[in-house]
Structure 1
Amino acid sequence: MSAEDLENYETDMELQLYREYRDVVSLFNYVVETERRFYLANHVDLQARSADGEIYFDLTLNDAWVWDVYRSARFVKTVRVITFKDVNVEELAKSDDIPLPKDGSLSG
């Protein structure tokens, strides 16, 4: 396999992953970013903890989807992440939450 073939394969895998994300994002309530992964989840429990003077985050996600091109099964029932880096949790807006103009235009 040439370097170009490998690059094309990785590009195709990323594109497939993006398409899967686009198809499933509406099924979830939260987007979670850690230093290593990106998750979609329906329930998030984030606890700041301390041990030996160090602060870390204990994150449990239920009903989740993992952005990882190398995972064969990205849907998982429960994920637990321990990290010393920041965690970003955002609640996703549902299409019902965003009022759209009746004429369909997005300009004000």
Structure 2
Amino acid sequence: MVRTLRRTTSYVDDQDYIFVGLQDVVRTLLDELLKAETRRSVVSIYGMGGLGKTTLARNLYNSPNIVNSFPTCAWICVSLEYNTMDLLRNIIKSSCNCCIEQTTFA
């Protein structure tokens, strides 16, 4: 049986009204992401569907503090069924595009 992997996308509306009441959460996550430590860490955002996890992640990803603190960035979507090699390829492609854009337009 051949299985095809379902592709997903993440549409995010850039309206600030979504974050009413979540400013403390955003501030806490920004502090965690920008903490000056030599060890690497993982920050997870999890919960039921429709809570705004992708919107929160996109808001953090596009934050000027994050953009100015990390030289390389990558945004990928992961489905319930995924291929690890495809994910790694997408991360590399996204990272390379980010570097090219910064080099070209900086």
More contact order relative to length (CA 8 Å, sep ≥ 6): 2
Bin for the TM-score computed over the shorter chain: under 0.3
Question: Could you say which structure has the higher helix fraction?
Answer: 2
Question: Could you say which structure has the higher strand fraction?
Answer: 1
Please report the TM-score for the alignment, with normalisation by the length of structure 2: 0.26
